[in-house]
């Protein structure tokens, strides 16, 4: 009986840990998200910057470059409008939160999940199960373009903000992989959209690819192992106290802990590009 109790206690503990980590990843929002409560705290003496995007902006399963930026831009009030697992579909659903801030400057970093959701039916279903897309939607490049154009149209129509759009970060460090070939295509669209709409273009992808091309190294893991690596990364960060750089090194990467997210080198590139654009 005592052995059974021990087993049940272990199972309960593991279940509670899993539930906590799941909420941390899928339900968490940034402390400085532009919700109504935080918008009431806007300092009229400062300009407003909203960083709009997915987990690579959110910063709780990725290096938090937004917090870095906020500490350096003392004349700006910075809102983090990044949410884990978001696609262009969900950015459209949340866009009113950005508009309501009456921002002076908006950055947009989106597309990683739009690409990842096309990497097989299993990945598509994960985004559907998370509620990021409805069950009748199969994310695709044409929808990405349509959604992105609508995001820009609404922001230009309803704000006076300067808008900076970013090319997609690398999806893993095998630049020849299908995921990165797709991300190249999506990024070319973003670059052309910036030209067509007279937006600021920030070459995140180009910077990261240049870094990898100048610092080649053999890889320990493939893109197909992303979901496993993501789980290991979250456990290492939240339970074992490792930082994203240590996790990247453990997994044999230079810029990412898990193929999708940023360590301090990659996140620093994003931060610096945004800072230079604002300055």
Residue 1 has pLDDT above 60, yes or no: no
Tell me what the mean pLDDT of segment 70-76 comes to.
95
Structural domains in the chain, CATH included, are: 31-278 (3.40.50.1110)
- Which of 18-32, 52-66, 97-111, 230-244 has the least mean pLDDT? 18-32
pLDDT value for 21: 57
pLDDT value for 161: 98
pLDDT value for 15: 64
pLDDT tens digits for range 240-273: 999 999 999 999 999 999 999 999 999 999 999 9
pLDDT value for 23: 64
Structure tokens at 30: 């940034």
pLDDT value for 241: 95
pLDDT value for 14: 54
Mean pLDDT of the chain: 94
State the pLDDT confidence band at 20, using cuts at 50, 70 and 90: low
């Amino acid at each position: 009986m005592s052995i059974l109790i021990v087993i049940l206690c272990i199972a309960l503990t593991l279940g509670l840990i899993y539930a906590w980590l799941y909420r941390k990843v899928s339900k968490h929002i940034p402390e400085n998200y532009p919700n109504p409560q935080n918008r009431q705290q806007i300092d009229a003496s400062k300009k407003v910057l909203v960083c709009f995007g997915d987990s690579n902006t959110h910063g709780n399963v990725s290096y938090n470059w937004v917090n870095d930026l906020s500490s350096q831009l003392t004349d700006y009030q910075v809102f983090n409008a990044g949410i884990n697992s978001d696609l262009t579909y969900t950015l459209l659903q949340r866009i009113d939160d950005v508009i309501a801030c009456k921002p002076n400057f908006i950055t947009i970093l989106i597309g990683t999940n739009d690409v990842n959701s096309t990497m097989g039916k299993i990945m598509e279903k994960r985004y559907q199960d998370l509620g990021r897309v409805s069950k009748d939607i199969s994310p695709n490049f044409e929808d990405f373009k349509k959604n992105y154009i609508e995001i820009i149209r609404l922001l230009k129509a309803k704000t006076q903000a300067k808008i900076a759009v970013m090319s997609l970060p690398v999806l893993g460090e095998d630049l020849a992989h299908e995921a990165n070939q797709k991300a190249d295509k999506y990024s070319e669209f973003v670059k052309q959209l910036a030209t067509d709409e007279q937006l600021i273009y920030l070459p995140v992808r180009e910077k990261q690819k240049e870094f990898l091309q100048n610092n080649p190294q053999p890889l320990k893991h493939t893109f197909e192992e992303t979901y496993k690596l993501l789980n290991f990364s979250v456990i290492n960060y939240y339970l074992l106290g490792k930082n994203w750089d240590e996790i990247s090194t453990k997994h044999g990467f230079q810029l990412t802990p898990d193929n999708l997210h940023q360590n301090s080198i990659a996140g620093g590139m994003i931060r610096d590009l945004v800072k230079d654009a604002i300055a």
